[in-house]
Amino acid sequence: MAPSATGRRASGMSRQETRWAWLFLAPWVIGFLVFTGGPMIASLVLSFTEYDVISAPKFTGLDNYRQLMSDPAVAKSLGNTVFYTALHVPLAIAVSLGLALLLQRVGRASGLFRTIFYLPVMTPAVAVGILFLFLLNGQTGLINAMLALVGVQGPNWTTDPAWIKLWTLGSTTIIYLAALNNVPRELYEAARIEGASSWRQFRHITVPMISGALFFTLIVNTIASLQLFAEVYTMYFGNRATQESTTDAALFYVVYLFQQAFQFLHMGFASAMAWLLFLIILAITVLQVRVGNRFVYYEGD
């Protein structure tokens, strides 16, 4: 930037810049207030009421929250969801990073493979749920049939969305690929001249240089896993037949929330559930940011 003639003019200019910046932020601010902030406050208010959509909400104080604590299905679904998240997120990050490393190394041919890995992401979540319901069927599913070909007795795959979601990790892979391509070549050259092994190059150059991307994907994948809904719902609760044959073992938190809200019309209770999940996600994110900031390297700083 060119130095300005006087200090007064500079501050005027920066004030104008600030105004412009706010103007640019306006779509997000308005969108947040109308589509996120407003509904959140509404659900907070509803969480203290009994509301069945038809009659007016009735204030019941902390009743919903008390019920939340004593409902075994809440604890069960939360346990399932947390277990799935703890299993899926590290697995997804490791597999995505592996795929991204392969893609980066292969050079020119990466376009085709990148497209293949991204295809599942473009498949609607509902279609993915139904597709895997067929594929994972213990008796007639293709996956067990293929496992049988190599002599493995496939399990009855009752509740394994962790595997399904591994099919749709293309976004994370693409983010890693972009991050990997941004690491300056000179660092590897310098390391090789010093005689660093591939593992040490990976550990001390690649990982720190893409730590920003790793951190970002850790946070968004954790949140998305905790909020998993569409695939599980279509797989296990999509129609009466699957719903009746499904046990609590496949109950995910947001699926139970949806049932409470739109099947049993317990809007107040569902709102309380939503707020509990929000607080849990908030706590986990704050923790991740606190811990993460110690390890993450930001180019700009």
Which residues of the shown chain bind other proteins in the complex (CB under 8 A)? 17-18, 21-28, 31-32, 99, 102-103, 105-106, 109, 113, 116-117, 119-120, 131-132, 134-135, 137, 140-142, 145-146, 167, 169, 171-172, 189, 192-193, 216-217, 219-221, 223-224, 285, 289
Nearer to other proteins, 73 or 146 (CB): 146
Work out how close the CB of 146 gets to other proteins at its nearest, in angstroms, rounded to a whole number: 8
Helix (H) or strand (E) holding 40: helix 38-46
CB 242, min distance to other proteins, A: 14
- Please identify, using beta-carbon distances, which residue of 25 and 69 lies nearer to other proteins: 25
d(CA 224, CA 244): 27
Name residue 175's amino acid: I
Structure tokens at 63: 């009743």
**The tokens 């997804």 sit on which residue?**
92
For residues 51 and 233, which CB has a smaller minimum distance to other proteins in the complex?
A: 233
Token pair 């001249």 is found at 193
CB of 280 to other proteins, least distance (A): 14
Least distance CB 73 / other proteins (angstroms): 26
CB of 137 to other proteins, least distance (A): 7
Q: Are 128 and 231 in contact (CB under 8 A)?
A: yes
Smallest separation (angstroms) from other proteins to the CB of 272: 20
Smallest distance from the beta carbon of 3 to other proteins, in angstroms? 20
Which of 22/59 has CB closer to other proteins?
22
Separate counts of helices (H) and strands (E) for the chain:
17, 2
Q: Which helix (H) or strand (E) holds 238?
A: none
Burial label for 208, CB within 10 Å (0-12, 13-18, 19+), is middle
Question: Cβ(223)–Cβ(289) under 8 Å?
Answer: no
What are the residue ranges of helices labelled H in 107-181?
A: 110-122, 125-135, 142-149, 161-167, 170-181
- Dihedral angle of Cα 162, 164, 165, 171, to the nearest 10 degrees: 150
Identify which of 224, 239, 246, 256 has the alpha carbon closest to the alpha carbon of residue 79.
256
The neighbouring-strand residues paired with 50 are 58
Task: Report the nearest approach of other proteins to the CB of residue 2 (Å).
Answer: 18
CB nearer other proteins, residue 64 or residue 217: 217
Q: How would you class 252 by CB atoms within 10 Å of its CB: exposed for 0-12, middle for 13-18, buried for 19 or more?
A: buried
Q: Which is nearer to other proteins, 126 or 265 (CB)?
A: 126
CA atoms lying within 13 Å on the CB side of residue 224: 20
- Residue whose CB is less far from other proteins, 213 or 269: 213
Q: Which is nearer to other proteins, 120 or 238 (CB)?
A: 120
